[in-house]
Structure 1
Amino acid sequence: MAPRDERLTPEFLAWAYRQGAFPMGDDDGSVEWYRSEDRAIFDLKGMHVSRSLARRMRAGGYRVSFDEAFEAVMRSCRRPSGNWITEPLIALFVAAHVEGWAHSCEVWMGEELVGGVYGLAVGGCFCAESMFHRKTDMSKIALYHLIERCREVGFVLFDAQVMNPHLRSLGAKSLTDWEYMGLLTAALSVQTDWS
């Protein structure tokens, strides 16, 4: 889509997401752009909450915040190996966060960041990028609260990008690229407090 990382600017990032593409970094530091034929989206009425997750949420003992630790969430989502969240991507998303259209949801226990999810907004579509947990269920709790916030501020589409068994277990629905692009096109005309 773009010649590797020559166009790593927030403006190009926003343009690419409006075309349904998302970036992944390579081990050599370059960035490639992708579109998924098995796109995962969540209904903004809420994700599936299992009985055990509902019990964990009722038990409390954690605090949820938004945009308090964007870069820390993104760095926490990095995997020890086979990592697609590279330093150039971190710099790019942090720049979008500073501009006000990349956001994070954090879950804290005391002062410890124990879970989170981050992504970015284009019009009325929120594109969730990645999530992590350091304590059981904390990424699910972060995702639950992020979907709730997106509904509250007026998003009409919540994109989780590539379908996988974990997202499916949380209630994500699978769309073809063609179906997704129809929803995305409609969502781009919507503005929210987070876009």
Structure 2
Amino acid sequence: MQRIEPVDLLNAYCEGAFPMGEEDGSISWYRPKMRGILPVADFHVPKRFERYLKQHPFEVRWNTAFGDVIRGCADRESTWITDTIMDTYEELHRLGFAHSAEVWRDGKLRGGVYGVSIGGAFFGESMFSREPQASKVALTYLQRRLHERGFLLHDTQWTTPHLAMFGGHEIPCVQYLEMLQRAILRKVTFM
């Protein structure tokens, strides 16, 4: 099994690159020309979902089941989250760089999102739901935490329709790298 050293992964993030596992177990590195971001200060919660949040029956926790969140994200028919990816991010979690937002109900993990933080930059990796709305709840609480903590950048790699409904959009890589350099120098913490 191929290994990614945590320091190499952190350095890659600081240079605007990220890994994805391939079907054959190898790792490919990406640095798209257009980069997906979610605005931290101007995060948009659709009104209908805001109403749902006020009545949602979920409990949100941080970093209590990181391994379960990453495995939940990998539990799909086709995934880029290989054993190498899981091992590396779990090591980053133990080192204090990788974090999870977890959505629980009745003592069971219903959804979540995980990513990596360096300074004031958060690099969102993946999310999952075991019931409707759970990943949206996790994402919304994550965004609120990033804003409260003073983060400048939430990198989503690419923009999906799911992220676009919350204000996610793409910016040119040059602009992204400028934002990234300012963000990683910011002295903030996730926890």
Normalised to the residue count of structure 1, the TM-score between the two structures is 0.92
Shift of 1:46: 4.8
Aligned 8 A contact 1:119 1:128 in 2 = yes
Q: Secondary structure at the match of 1:160?
A: strand
Shift of 1:142: 0.3
Aligned counterpart for 1:178 among listed residues 169, 174, 179: 174
Supply the RMSD in Å over aligned alpha carbons. Answer: 1.6
Q: Which residue of 1 aligns with 2:156?
A: 160
1:184 and 1:85, CA in 2 relative to 1: closer, same or farther beyond 3 A?
A: same
% of aligned pairs identical? 37
Structure 2 unmatched runs, 5+: none
Alignment of 1:18-57 (within 5 A): 18-57=14-53
Is residue 2:98 matched to residue 1:108? no
Alignment of 1:32-181 (within 5 A): 32-181=28-177
Aligned 8 A contact 1:67 1:103 in 2 = yes
CA distance in 1, matches of 2:87, 2:187: 25
Shift of 1:104: 0.4
Structure 1 unmatched runs, 5+: none
Shift of 1:79: 4.4
> How many residues were matched structurally?
191
Paired residue type of 1:164: T
Normalised to the residue count of structure 2, the TM-score between the two structures is 0.94
Is residue 2:190 matched to residue 1:194? yes
CA distance in 2, matches of 1:101, 1:18: 13
Q: Secondary structure at the match of 2:74?
A: coil
Paired residue type of 2:41: K
